[in-house]
Amino acid sequence: MDAVISAGGKGTRLGSLTREIPKALISVAGRAILAHQLEDLAASGISRVWLLTGHLGEAVENYVRSNRLPLEVELLREAQPLGTAGGLAALAGRIDESFVFVYGDLIFSVDFGRMAARHAQSGAAITLLAHPNSHPQDSDLIVADNAGRVLGIRGKAEARRGYYTNLVNAGAYILSPEVVGSLRPGVKSDFERDVVSRFIAGGRVFAYRTSEYVKDMGTPERLKQVEKDLERGVVADRRLSRRQRAVFLDRDGTVNRYVHLLHSPEQLELLPGAAGAIGRLNASGYLCFVVSNQPVVARNLCSMADVEETNRKLETLLGAEGAYLDDMRFCPHHPDSGYPGENAAYKIDCECRKPKTGMIDELAALYNVDLGRSYMVGDTSVDVQTAVNAGMRSILVKSGMAEEPKKYAATPGMTAADLAETVELILGPAGGLR
């Protein structure tokens, strides 16, 4: 598989740093950003990169010719600025298979082989790498269906009503050759506005959700954060070819206030300190998931759509405080039937209802989680037994039901007053990077 790096921009947001140095050669933790990118692409088995240059392109070309690189690099320089998509048209006839496309101001650690496999399975023309972030309120948000098909993008400048899924376009893609073939040579165009939007309208864009590290260093503040993450090992450790550590959270009584049979978004309220605790996990070496039983669907108190809207409210509230969940799952089933008004379709003995481990097993496979180095956190003995069944460590919090009498006899590994104390127990002074 080939890759293409769009490295022709002026990098004006970096101010004086790019006055005489092209953006691709800005030093990040002592090495050119291009060096970081080529190294990571090579780690995914990519053997050839097409480098689209423009502003100060000669300096980039000299760097390529004078340095030993981990893969083959082909150079294409724009005679005039053609935007983030215009230069891609020059690849027509040069690439005949799907390829990786990334921007030149990204630091990333991504297993592109996994992403390419998902692209091939979906039949997409464009697969965009998507992830939650800590500032969704000023980011363009992806709207996708449950299969990952992108239905639209809510721009950060748009007035937003209601709740949202925290899912952001990270600026890395897998493109099919037909995308290049659809471009007009020599015509200036914007990739997201003019190309991605057109393929969204045709139903040919899919989102690949990942927890891997992708961050642009296009401002001095972001550059400093990226350097810090590189030095702490966060960037390399987030690559999904490496085993991940995770904290699986129950929802009601752990993240939000416990309400008996909570069944509408209006009833959901974050517990004090919960967003800050999840934010600490986001900054650590742990992934953060929510897995919850929601039998309110089986009881016919609400629909699947109602639970999904409640979860969107949870994401919206967390995002407003700079925190996010890497992913969520819920079980709508209940094994006992025969109650008046129940929804019989969901009255089944499933594999996803805790303390069974179906939700955890699914997330562990998607995100390559080492369950033996991970935690299950919840407010009942059901969560403790789930940890035992999944082979995880357990922490029982006293912020919800603290179920009495206990339904299961499993003993928690630790107890904590709330999620904030839980995260302190998990991370300790070292911040989790141990």
Q: Tell me if residue 87 falls in helix, strand or coil.
A: helix
Backbone dihedral angles phi then psi of residue 288, each to the nearest 5 degrees: -130, 120
- The residue whose two tokens read 């939000």 is 256
Give the whole-angstrom CA distance, residue 241 versus residue 382. Answer: 31
Give the whole-angstrom CA distance, residue 425 versus residue 360. Answer: 22
User: The tokens of 55 are what?
Assistant: 């502003």
Q: Tell me if residue 301 falls in helix, strand or coil.
A: coil
Backbone dihedral angles phi then psi of residue 21, each to the nearest 5 degrees: -125, 130
Report helix, strand and coil shares of the chain as percent, to nearest 5.
Answer: 35, 25, 40
Q: E strand or H helix at 43, and its extent?
A: helix 33-43
Q: Which residues contact 372 (CB under 8 A, 6 or more apart)?
A: 391, 392
Catalytic residue at 250? yes
Q: Tell me if residue 129 falls in helix, strand or coil.
A: strand
DSSP class per residue in 269-296: -BPTTHHHHHHHHHTTTEEEEEEEE-TT
Of the candidates 229, 250, 327, 379, the residue annotated as catalytic is 250
Give the whole-angstrom CA distance, residue 234 versus residue 211. Answer: 12
Quote the Cα angle for 399-312-110, to 5°: 100
Q: Which residues contact 160 (CB under 8 A, 6 or more apart)?
A: 154
Catalytic residue at 306? no
DSSP class per residue in 169-236: EEEEEEE-HHHHHTSPTT----IIIIIIHHHHHTT-EEEEE--SEEEE--SHHHHHHHHHHHHHTHHH
Give the whole-angstrom CA distance, residue 34 versus residue 20. Answer: 16
Quote the Cα angle for 83-85-87, to 5°: 80
From 431, 403, 132, select the one nearest 250 (Cα to Cα).
403
Of the candidates 252, 327, 383, 418, the residue annotated as catalytic is 252
Alpha-helical (H) ranges within 327-380 are 358-367
Beta-strand relationship, 126-131 and 393-397: unpaired
- Residues annotated as catalytic are 250, 252
